[in-house]
């Protein structure tokens, strides 16, 4: 007998569904609605609207509702057994906010299955568009909140992260300052995750601790709304926020709109939705101490499970609530795949040629170091992009190829040291994670095995796994997190790479050299050339022995 669980992901560019059968531990259905292609009448670009200033980035919440109807319509047309789905949870792009007026609650309680969601919900918004994570227009508001709370270290201690432009609190403050009348007419401010969950539930859904931590409004220690942070953001804000709940909370059953229209069972359970990052934590199996993930995409992301609360008082990393009830760390590096592509394109290489050059050059790169700030960087903070090369120039393809890859993973290791739990296993996702040669460098620098997964949407998969875990707990089948994730994910492992223990000390010394180079360039530290020459000599001696 099948045991089906549905995970949804309302991402930047589309809405995805994954159905997992936990009896056979298989993904049996995957569906996607792409906003640009399938809902092109909204005229989005990669799912968003980028304003003329280049830093204000919004999306249309009505589009997400139309996508939900279309997604379920496609599933129903394909004869998916919707009535056998036991539980649903979801994921959404983190930090985005949705602003609703006093008609919202009544409207979602009385949805008519003979009409579509977008038509019925059209006039329930006090703000027609929603700022999303790509928006960076709130620097002024970030600074104001920071000052009110006593500086960035106090903000980190309180909320787990420094104030960042994309975070919900600064975005809410900007709305209050720029459109005070519309702010006053706003009865409820949802995150995208809780907004989408509300539609399925038929009433306002709560915000879970994972997504709530990405707002600069939740106390990271108590997992409660923090009154000081709320008062620093906007007046009467507490009255406009949904309650907070644990991520495994069963928030109710699916509303009649979806049972009558699409054939879901009225007994289908709904589990609190969360942000894409906490869901991806589960989707790649990070449920025990020492497990981290490296996601190689447009930006590169390093995130991991934390058994204890650690904070980054440099303000580079973030701490969110994990669906397990613990914590997760997250560090984002903007110079990811686009930086690798800069080197590939500079020398007119194919990715195959790029990989071969990694294989043909020695670990440590003979002491040649790159600081790869092709674009403005957030970790470490580099506002004026420039590529720094120590010991080589921009004309040697082999050295540049190894330099960019080593630099990216050295930077990850350096800027994740604030996490007090050493990485013992790395799970790799994202487009470049399929490149075995790139991931071998990661295994060697971190001195840790790297599991490469065949995953297309770890956030939706994580939501489905979360739904299963909460359901089983509710029926007294208390399967632990490693048990429920490993049974599924072991079938999705494409390859495991192991570190070369013979170069462990080499990369430990290279990390110290990389830190000296960064300190010299960004903070005026001592010239690293003496240390680089010493390291270069060690590399040359080692290379001659091989």
Residues 127 and 164 in one domain: yes
Are 242 and 301 in the same domain?
A: no
Residue 311 within any structural domain of the chain: yes
pLDDT, tens digit, for every residue of 264-288? 999 999 999 999 999 999 999 999 9
Clarify whether residues 256 and 292 are in a common domain: no
Among 278, 305, 321, the domain boundary falls at 278
What residues have CB less than 8 Å from 103, skipping those under 6 apart? 123, 124
**Are residue 317 and residue 210 in the same domain, yes or no?**
no
Whether the Cβ atoms of residue 354 and residue 499 lie closer than 8 Å to each other: no
Shared-domain flag, residues 175 and 266: yes
Q: Examine the domain organization and report whether 173 and 268 are in the same domain.
A: yes
User: Is 494 domain-assigned?
Assistant: no
> The domain containing residue 79 runs over which residues?
4-278
Instruction: Classify residue 362: in a domain, yes or no.
Output: yes
Residue 475 falls inside a structural domain = no
For residues 17 and 163, membership in a common domain is answered with yes
Residues 437 and 326 in one domain: yes
Same domain, 274 and 318: no
- How does pLDDT run across 448-465, given as a tens digit for each residue? 999 998 877 899 999 999
Evaluate whether residue 471 is within a structural domain: no
Q: pLDDT tens string for the chain (546 positions)?
A: 789 999 999 999 999 999 999 988 899 999 999 999 999 999 999 999 999 998 999 999 999 999 999 999 999 999 999 999 999 999 999 999 999 999 999 999 999 999 999 999 999 999 999 999 989 899 999 999 999 999 999 999 999 999 999 999 999 999 999 999 999 999 999 999 999 999 999 999 999 999 999 999 999 999 999 999 999 999 999 999 999 999 999 999 999 999 999 999 999 999 999 999 999 999 999 999 999 999 898 889 999 999 999 999 999 999 999 999 999 999 999 899 989 999 999 999 999 999 999 999 999 999 999 999 999 898 998 988 999 999 999 999 999 999 999 999 999 999 999 998 888 999 998 888 889 999 999 999 999 999 998 877 899 999 999 999 999 999 988 788 988 898 888 888 889 999 999 999 999 999 999 999 999 999 999 999 999 999 999 998 887 776
What are the backbone angles phi and psi of residue 124, rounded to the nearest 5°? -95, 0
DSSP labels, 181-236: HHHHT--EEEEHHHHHHHHHHTSPPPEEHHHHTTTT-B-TTT-SB-HHHHHHH-TT
Assess if residue 463 is contained within a domain: no
Predicted pLDDT of residue 92:
97
Task: Say yes or no: 155 and 76 in one domain.
Answer: yes
Contact residues for 460 (Cβ-Cβ < 8 A; gap 6+): 7, 8, 9, 16, 17, 18, 91, 279, 283
Using the 3D structure, point to which of 247, 278, 309 is the last residue of a domain: 278
Q: Indicate the residue among 252, 278, 304 that finishes a domain.
A: 278
Say which CATH number the domain at 429 has: 3.30.420.40
Is 459 domain-assigned? no
Same domain flag for 227 and 309: no
Asked if residue 491 belongs to a domain, the reply is no
The total number of structural domains that make up the chain: 2
In this structure, the answer to whether residues 396 and 539 fall within a common structural domain is yes
pTM score, whole prediction: 0.91
């Amino acid at each position: 007998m099948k045991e089906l669980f549905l995970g949804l992901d309302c991402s930047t560019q589309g809405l995805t569904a994954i159905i997992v059968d936990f009896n056979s531990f298989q993904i049996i259905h995957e569906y996607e609605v792409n906003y640009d292609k399938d809902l092109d009448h909204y005229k989005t670009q990669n799912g968003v609207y980028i304003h003329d200033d280049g830093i204000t980035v919004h999306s249309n919440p009505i589009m997400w509702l139309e996508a939900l109807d279309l997604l379920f319509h496609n599933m129903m047309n394909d004869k998916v057994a919707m009535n056998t789905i036991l539980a649903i949870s979801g994921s959404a792009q983190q930090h985005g906010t949705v602003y609703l007026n006093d008609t919202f609650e009544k409207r979602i309680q009385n949805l008519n299955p003979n009409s579509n969601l977008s038509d019925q919900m059209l006039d329930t918004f006090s703000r027609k568009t929603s700022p999303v994570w790509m928006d960076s227009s709130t620097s002024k508001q970030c600074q104001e909140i920071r000052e009110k709370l006593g500086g960035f270290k106090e903000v980190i201690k309180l909320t787990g992260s420094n104030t960042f432009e994309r975070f919900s609190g600064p975005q809410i403050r900007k709305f209050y300052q720029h459109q005070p009348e519309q702010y006053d007419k706003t009865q409820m401010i949802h995150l995208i995750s809780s907004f989408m969950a509300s539609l399925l539930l038929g009433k306002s859904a709560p915000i879970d601790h994972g997504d709530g931590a990405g707002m600069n409004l939740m106390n990271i220690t108590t997992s409660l709304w923090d009154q000081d942070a709320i008062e620093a953001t906007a007046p009467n804000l507490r009255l406009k926020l949904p309650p907070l709940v644990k991520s495994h909370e069963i928030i109710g059953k699916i509303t009649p709109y979806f049972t009558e229209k699409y054939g879901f069972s009225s007994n289908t359970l709904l589990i609190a939705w969360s942000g894409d990052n906490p869901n991806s934590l589960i989707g790649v199996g990070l449920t025990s101490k020492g497990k981290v993930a490296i996601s190689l995409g447009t930006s590169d992301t390093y995130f991991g499970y934390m058994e204890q609360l650690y904070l980054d008082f440099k303000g580079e990393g973030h701490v969110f609530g994990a669906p397990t009830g613990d914590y997760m760390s997250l560090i984002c590096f903007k110079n990811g795949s686009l930086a690798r592509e800069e080197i590939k394109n500079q020398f007119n290489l194919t990715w195959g040629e790029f990989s071969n050059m990694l294989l043909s050059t020695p670990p440590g790169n003979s002491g040649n170091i790159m600081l790869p700030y092709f674009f403005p960087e957030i970790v470490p903070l580099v506002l004026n992009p420039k590529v720094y090369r120590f010991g080589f120039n921009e004309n040697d393809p082999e050295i540049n190829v190894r330099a960019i890859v080593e630099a990216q993973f050295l930077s990850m290791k350096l800027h994740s040291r604030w996490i007090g739990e050493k990485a013992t296993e790395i799970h790799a996702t994202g487009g470049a994670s399929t490149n075995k040669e790139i991931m071998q460098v990661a295994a060697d620098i971190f001195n840790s095995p790297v599991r490469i997964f065949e995953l297309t949407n770890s956030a939706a998969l994580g939501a489905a796994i979360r739904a299963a875990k909460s359901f089983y707990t509710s029926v007294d089948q208390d399967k632990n997190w490693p048990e429920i994730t490993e049974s599924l994910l072991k079938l999705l492992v494409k390859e495991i790479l192991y570190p070369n223990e013979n170069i462990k000390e080499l990369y430990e010394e290279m990390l110290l050299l990389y830190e000296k180079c960064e300190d010299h360039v960004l903070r005026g530290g001592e010239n690293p050339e003496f240390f680089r020459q010493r390291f270069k000599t060690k590399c040359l001696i080692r290379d001659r022995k091989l």
